[in-house]
Structure 1
């Protein structure tokens, strides 16, 4: 069956798009841009294959689709900005096989101006065609929330910004097959900046509540009760909750490396959030001290080492830095995570606890880093000698909270 859509990049942005397209009945071709981690179960893969998904065996197949969406990863670069090398490589590969009237959409997180100043020249030079005349070009920020069962691609509005109005309408026609609502931005730069704002909004608000967690602990105030009460306000407030750090694929952008502009609030938020693993370790050492134990030689069990609950994704998980800092204090670590069968830190395997309750009972301190649904936190709070809850998930009074 000929494919209608090519998804270029099958990582955290491309794979959900491919799944949504197949679910909508769109024959989809997947093209890998690098060693993207597969996060499909065998059953999910079978469903996708039976629904019209297949992997590209040659770059030439990219020239046989009506729509191509670039979802290559853009990890942090050495200059503090985003590394666009995989986006550029994907553009060159696509350009060599691009046909007239194809709609090309970029979904990777990028600085404003990338679609016009980076992607467009590469596509035009490699294809010999002009964007906006011979093929359509647009940007649409990826709005993926892994594991969220309430918001799916079908009920999450899609923002579109095209190089021309015709480009916008062509991209909108494609996304209209996937989602209930399409929102048209004035252009690619506006659409790109939507992604910057949405990502930074998350990081800044997490930083605020992380600072509140430290302040409230110093004041002897129950932050979790404060949040519970504050979120009853029906306007002007959105509840965020603290944690051991911020993980995930969405990288906060202060735009310094690309636009010569510093978003001071974002820069400050990055500093606050990056200090949270260290704060967790300080709290852990203080708790052990209060109970007559030293961090050196203490048996510490880490619960949940992924960046998000109920997923196997470890991208930028704060658990790694927490583990490194505890190791440097001389602690003896073990971990438990139902989604991670093995875990290495500093190139050394961390022992995995087979029996969760026995491990918690044996450990001098248990630290909840991620709240997986499979954890019976009431039971754990009874079994653990000491329990530090960095997610506020345990019943009130059952553990020491962040």
Structure 2
């Protein structure tokens, strides 16, 4: 097949490479000329994706993958178009369709009869049928379901392990009609491989969910579930800490029962997915009070962690405090919705002088993100915001003068922090104060 992947970001580019590895000819379309140049040179434009550098170079060398800024031309040459353009959502959960609208109009300009269009970007329920189908039809002069086929098929992968996740999880597909769904299933069966999953009630592979709306809801539901679960874990952690109980021992015990799957509590929920998609779900279903309460509980955790620090340190006015980790999770150079931003804000609200360091970022990169980079200034307190492996062996020797530490990710070893008020969210304080 000839396939066009629109948007060569941290999901789109690995997808394009995956399709090329299956022997298909792939054209990646992106508005960023630097990304296009990197891809055509066989260079990964961003770090951190396992095996991407090797597979990308191989696909380009074999002539199976090229990139362009001309989306209509790339679409006109393709049998299938996969769209992975970002959709932004504000704090109220209102989607900003600007980039996706522009991409869809470009796709429509090059759309030919018989082409399959698959949207993988997470969307509010009803968007594929009610927004993209009319826009594609109007821009191309073609009829959805008759002249071209349209499906929604959510990406279900994590950055850093995209190729592994593509094999691990069933590929969900929902069409705007039966013919579209059939073409969507056939397409993904030809471009993906799947691991054996004896734990599934039906074989791993491509699953037709019956409609675009069902597939849209499935992605929102699975991600919103995680946010609600984490919100509940954070509520348990706050209570457990107040009564001197280690919540992780409780969670470990609970999860030995097969119907309990309590997630880990922590200082923040970050990334492109978990903080965003519950808001998108609420945009569709504003009466979902459980979803709203969980989102609010998770949003409150950075300020709660700073409160724990104040409880052991005392008045934070003028105190230099180091926030360890700018990334939203360990091992990933990404700050999307990272807890570092509200943690810094909460410190400033208490009068502290915050600094930020991260083993994956230079001070210049942190400052470009609007963060106060640590350049060796003395600090008297610290908060662990990201669970980078580098923090596992961290000791007070690395932070001379530190008097109090709040570990928001349970990554540091309390035994190494003798003499320091070491607090873990949801556990008795190792320094002697219960939090």
CA distance in 1, matches of 2:262, 2:154: 23
**Aligned runs of 1:349-388 on 2, under 5 Å?**
349-353=372-376, 362-375=378-391, 377-380=392-395, 383-384=398-399, 385=402, 386-388=404-406
TM-score normalised by length of structure 2: 0.81
Map Cα deviations across residues 174-195 of structure 1 (whole Å, 9 max, x no partner). 2112132111111101111101
CA distance in 1, matches of 2:92, 2:304: 27
Where does residue 10 of structure 1 map in the other structure?
8
* Unaligned 5+ runs, structure 2: 36-44, 195-204, 417-421, 426-435
Which of these residues, 79, 98, 111, is aligned with residue 85 of structure 1?
98
Where does residue 62 of structure 1 map in the other structure?
75
CA distance in 2, matches of 1:9, 1:271: 32
Which of these residues, 117, 133, 145, is aligned with residue 104 of structure 1?
117
Shift in Å, 1:154:
1.9
* Unaligned 5+ runs, structure 1: 354-358
Where does residue 24 of structure 2 map in the other structure?
26
CA distance in 2, matches of 1:346, 1:328: 20
Conservation of the 8 A alpha-carbon contact between 1:95 and 1:123: yes
Where does residue 330 of structure 1 map in the other structure?
351
Where does residue 193 of structure 1 map in the other structure?
217
**Secondary structure of the residue that 1:91 maps to in structure 2?**
helix
Conservation of the 8 A alpha-carbon contact between 1:81 and 1:256: no
**Secondary structure of the residue that 1:350 maps to in structure 2?**
coil
Shift in Å, 1:366:
2.1
Map Cα deviations across residues 300-356 of structure 1 (whole Å, 9 max, x no partner). 222111012101011000111101221333323333212112213884642245xxx
Conservation of the 8 A alpha-carbon contact between 1:252 and 1:270: no
Matched, 1:340 2:355: no
Alignment RMSD: 2.6
**Secondary structure of the residue that 1:192 maps to in structure 2?**
helix
Where does residue 298 of structure 1 map in the other structure?
319
CA distance in 2, matches of 1:142, 1:277: 29
Conservation of the 8 A alpha-carbon contact between 1:303 and 1:370: yes
CA distance in 2, matches of 1:142, 1:114: 16
Q: Per the alignment, do residues 260 and 238 of structure 1 end up closer, same or farther by CA in structure 2, a change over 3 Å counting?
A: closer
Q: Per the alignment, do residues 268 and 16 of structure 1 end up closer, same or farther by CA in structure 2, a change over 3 Å counting?
A: farther
CA distance in 1, matches of 2:34, 2:301: 28
Shift in Å, 1:388:
1.6
TM-score normalised by length of structure 1: 0.88
Matched residues, number: 387
Map Cα deviations across residues 201-236 of structure 1 (whole Å, 9 max, x no partner). 111011111111111111111112212222222x11
Matched, 1:222 2:246: yes
Shift in Å, 1:161:
0.7
Conservation of the 8 A alpha-carbon contact between 1:18 and 1:30: yes
